[in-house]
Amino acid sequence: MNLKQAMMRLLKNNFIFYFSLFLVSLSFGNLQSQEVPSEVLTYPEFLGYVKKFHPRIKQANLLISEGEAELMKARGAFDPKIEVDYEEKQFKGSEYYSLLNSSFKIPTWYGIEVKASFDNAEGIYVNPQMTTPNSGLTSVGVTLPLGQGLWINERMTDLRKGKLQVQLSQAEQKLAAVEVLYDASVVYFDWLKTYNELKLYRNYLTFAETRYKGIITLIEQGDKPAIDSIEAGIIIKNRKINLQEAELKLMKAKLDLATFLWIENVPVELQENIIPDEAIQNNIFQDLPFDRIENNSVLTDNHPKIQSLQRKIDILTLDRKLKANMLLPKLDVGYYYLSEPSYFDNYRWSDYKVGVNFTFPIFLRKERGTLNLAKLKLQDSQLDLNLERLQLDNKMKAGRTEIATLQNQIEITDALVNDYSTMLQSEERLFSFGESSIFLINSRENSLITSQISQINLENRYLQSYANLFRIMGILE
């Protein structure tokens, strides 16, 4: 073979190889043009559906309704009450008794109870103590606790606890919602990760198939040994396995994502043409604004977990005060003015009913034990609060450090991908000049794929770490 023929052979080989690479890009364009037009489900849109329709979010909202119901229940202790008790006995034509006791009670804040009543008793066997005038007997008066229950009592405590319970429910609702939104974010990021992996393996399968066709052409022309076709075929088989595995992962990721997609009370199935937002890493700073996480102390004070623990401490403090009040003697004094209905407008000091009720345990062991238990529960909750504050601060610092580290690793991985891509292109040029082999190209390509998979995994970890930081702070939106 003379020099002219060798140069023609070399140019021919170069043309065949680079024409094969041209077919790769052409096949991608044809493939995309034949696909169904894709619609992007952005991250904010996805979270919007979760916030509005997901059952766990609705369950979290029920916590506030439960707190409001508890408050209404506590306010019921101050509702005025009407009581009527009537009994009558007739036997062998005789009226043994006919007893009517009716009252109207108004509980007040400081344990004072206002009561108006009307009593009427008739019959031949009425207890003399219960005897009333023919027209009945009215009374108006108050009962006043001078020991236990004056400055703090059970109904007063229950009402204050009810108000705190509403605030506690609001904090717990926010915590529950944050957990749901974080879980939804992780699922979305996994969906994006598997989608990118599928695209990667699909592209490299097309590369391998196009390269295989070019190798077959070179073998038929006698420019390459037949063994290269086996090597190229092995690459195709490996790429098909990788692609099938990626398809399986994407299917599972879509099913996981579908568990968070609801419209009203109906779950929604994700359509095939719906794809994730590939530019999410550029938009994550708008979706989860980083400038809101700079001041640790402010974030910690406003954290729903801290607010929840603080409300629990406030409730336990009320319990401790109520238990401490039980150490006082029980001394209730009542005064009621008595009158017949027709003479009620003429007040007479001589017509009244008074009562005094005094109780005081000598050793107070039950009361002191109950108070000590309340103090221990309060101390335990305060220790939980202090520990939670420290843990939140440390978790925030660790989260920021992790994000900064991942950003640095992503930059290094991006540089590695560029370097491996350059190495692959150089190896392909050497192969076109007959100075390399399909084995070396495969090795370079595997290194590039590995670095790109690492790049995808790092981006996924970065997004998850970013969402986790907002989850730690309790402000995921």
Q: Both 336 and 306 in a single domain? A: no
Residue 304 lies in a domain: yes
In CATH, what number is assigned to the domain containing residue 236? 1.20.1600.10
Q: Both 39 and 174 in a single domain? A: yes
Strand 137-145's sheet: what is its strand order?
81-91, 94-107, 113-122, 137-145, 330-339, 352-359
DSSP assignment of 281-292 equals HHHHHHHS-GGG
pLDDT of residue 464: 92
Residue 323 lies in a domain: no
pLDDT confidence tier of residue 217, bands split at 50, 70 and 90: confident
Handedness of CA 258, 262, 267, 269 (dihedral sign): negative
Q: Both 108 and 237 in a single domain? A: no
- Indicate whether 37 pLDDT > 80: no
pLDDT of residue 19: 40
The span from the CA of 360 to the CA of 369, in Å, is 16
Burial of 103 (0-12, 13-18, 19+ CB in 10 A): middle
DSSP assignment of 43-73 equals HHHHHHHHHHH-HHHHHHHHHHHHHHHHHHH
Q: Which residue has the tokens 């919602």?
A: 177
Q: Both 234 and 279 in a single domain? A: yes
C-beta of residue 101 within 8 angstroms of C-beta of residue 78: no
The span from the CA of 12 to the CA of 217, in Å, is 11
Q: Both 179 and 44 in a single domain? A: yes
pLDDT of residue 259: 92
Full domain range(s) for residue 131:
78-152+330-362
Strands (E) located in 4-51: 39-41
Domains of the chain: total:
2
Structure tokens belonging to residue 334: 């009542």
Residues 310-343 pLDDT 10s: 999 999 999 999 999 999 999 999 999 888 887 6
The span from the CA of 247 to the CA of 57, in Å, is 31
User: Rounded to the nearest 10 degrees, how much is the dihedral formed by the CA atoms of 388, 391, 396, 398?
Assistant: -170
Say which range, 26-35, 112-121, 204-213, 402-411, has the weakest mean pLDDT. Answer: 26-35
Residue 249 lies in a domain: yes
Q: Both 18 and 119 in a single domain? A: no
pLDDT of residue 196: 94
Residue 233 lies in a domain: yes
- Indicate whether 382 pLDDT > 80: yes
Query: 449 vs 26, which has greater pLDDT?
Result: 449
Residue 256: other Cβ atoms inside 10 A: 17
Helix axes 43-53, 280-287, angle to 10 degrees: 50
The span from the CA of 149 to the CA of 329, in Å, is 10
- Indicate whether 166 pLDDT > 90: yes
Residues 83-110 pLDDT 10s: 999 999 888 888 888 899 999 999 988 8
Q: What average pLDDT does the chain have?
A: 84
- Indicate whether 20 pLDDT > 70: no
The span from the CA of 90 to the CA of 85, in Å, is 17
Q: Both 148 and 176 in a single domain? A: no
pLDDT of residue 268: 84
pLDDT of residue 285: 58
The span from the CA of 122 to the CA of 139, in Å, is 18
pLDDT of residue 279: 81
Q: Both 141 and 20 in a single domain? A: no
Query: 205 vs 342, which has greater pLDDT?
Result: 205
- For residue 275, the SS3 value is strand
Q: Both 256 and 300 in a single domain? A: yes
Which amino acid would we find at residue 70? E
The span from the CA of 118 to the CA of 408, in Å, is 84
* Helices within 268-364 (DSSP H only): 280-287, 296-301, 304-325
Residue 71 lies in a domain: no
The span from the CA of 116 to the CA of 418, in Å, is 90
C-beta of residue 198 within 8 angstroms of C-beta of residue 246: yes
Residue 369 lies in a domain: no
φ, ψ for residue 274, nearest 5 deg: -85, 130
Maximum distance among all Cα pairs of the chain, rounded to whole angstroms: 147
Helix or strand run (H / E) with residue 379: helix 365-432
Residue 6 lies in a domain: no
- Indicate whether 7 pLDDT > 70: no
From 256, 235, 136, 242, select the one nearest 197 (Cα to Cα).
242
β-pairing, 137-145 vs 113-122, is antiparallel
The span from the CA of 277 to the CA of 42, in Å, is 5
Q: Both 353 and 434 in a single domain? A: no
Query: What whole-number percentage of the chain has pLDDT above 70?
Result: 87
Structure tokens belonging to residue 293: 């996480």
Q: Both 310 and 448 in a single domain? A: yes
* pLDDT (average), residues 258-266: 88
Residue 69 lies in a domain: no
C-beta of residue 373 within 8 angstroms of C-beta of residue 381: no
From 452, 456, 410, 435, select the one nearest 207 (Cα to Cα).
452
Q: Both 250 and 198 in a single domain? A: yes
pLDDT of residue 10: 42
pLDDT of residue 298: 57
φ, ψ for residue 120, nearest 5 deg: -145, 130
